[in-house]
Each structure stands twice: as structure tokens, then as C-alpha cells.
Structure 1
């Protein structure tokens, strides 16, 4: 009985870790899109994204007058890192916007 409870508890902790990463990555992607729309250089935006979420990768996509920041990251060392999950998020903003 106890091993089953421990497995469920570890799964819940891993889910919380991934959910927290998803929220941070989404927020960082939205901020990156805003910065890109203002004309900030991609390299500077990538550094800001990495500061917000360590190890996050940035992909910039232009769609007409909209710029999108697509990012991806793996959970840091811990329970969730064993799952092999890659968390992805994106944010878009109109080019030249504030």
C-alpha cells in the first residue's frame, strides 16, 4: 500500500513541477514577444528568456505584422525531469506595438 501511495505522491509532485514551469514559460514567452515587437534584438530577448526560465530555447516566427516568440524547456533536475517531457509555450504581439 505504501509504495502505491508514494508513486501517486511523486506523480503529483512532478505534475506540479511541470505546471509551474508551464506558467513561467508562458509568461516569459509573452514578454519575449512584446520585446521583439518593440524591436529588441533576438539575442537580448533570448538572454531574458533564459533568465526567466533556465535552459529555455527561443524560436522567433514572423506572421505578417505579428511576431511570435515560441519557447521550449525541459523541467529542471528533479522528479519531472525523469518523464522526458518538453514544455512549450508561445506568445505573439503586433510588430511595432508597445
Structure 2
């Protein structure tokens, strides 16, 4: 093994680890965004979105009314190795029409 190879190998492995971590972060963000959209639609219909939110890896959700929209925000500890342990959080928000408000009036 040459000295150049010994110097380059850790740098290549670090780049590979960063690429894998970035892919993990994007995949988690997509899951959270889709779960937030489904949860907002479910709340808008009057259903309980608990199973969707926990299926995405989030512990819970926050919802709020914005005019005729209902918005849901979910958050989960980062799935990237090591970042969740130090407190990095991934979150997503989505809004959907509140169909219950039209029925209640």
C-alpha cells in the first residue's frame, strides 16, 4: 500500500458516507412530506391521522386552522446516522381544505 493511497482512502470513505447520509435525509424528508399531506387531508375529512403520522416515524403532529384550510406539521428525529442523537430534527408541513367547516355551518 502506498502512502498516497493511505491518504486518499479516508477522504473517499468520508465522501461516500456524506453521500449516503444525504440520500437518507432526502428519503426521510419525502416520507414526512407525504405523511403530512395525508394527515392534513384526513383531518380535513374528520378522520384520525395518528397511524399515518406514526408510520412516517414521527411521534406526533400539530394542527392548526388557517381560514378554510387545516394545516399539519409533523417532525421526527433525523434518520441520518448520528444526527438524530444530537438533536437534529426533520419536519414537514402540509395544508388541505377543511371539509368539516363547510358541513358544520
The correspondence for 1:14, drawn from 3, 17, 21, is 21
Contact 1:68-1:92 within 8 A present in 2 as well: yes
How big is the shift at 1:94? Answer: 1.0
TM-score, length of structure 1 as denominator length: 0.82
**Moved segments of 4+, more than 2 Å:** 75-85
Structure 1 gaps, min length 5: none
- For 1:25-52, what per-residue CA distance to the aligned partner results, in whole angstroms no more than 9, with x for missing partners? 1001000000000012xxx31232112x
Query: How many matched pairs?
Result: 93
The equivalent residue for 1:25 is 32
- Which has more radius of gyration? 2
How big is the shift at 1:85? Answer: 2.8
TM-score, length of structure 2 as denominator length: 0.77
Q: Aligned equivalents of 1:19 and 1:6: distance in 2?
A: 20
The equivalent residue for 1:89 is 92
- Closer, same or farther: CA 84–9 of 1 in aligned 2, 3 Å: farther
Contact 2:25-2:80 within 8 A present in 1 as well: no
RMSD: 2.0
Instruction: State the secondary structure of the residue aligned to 1:55.
Output: coil
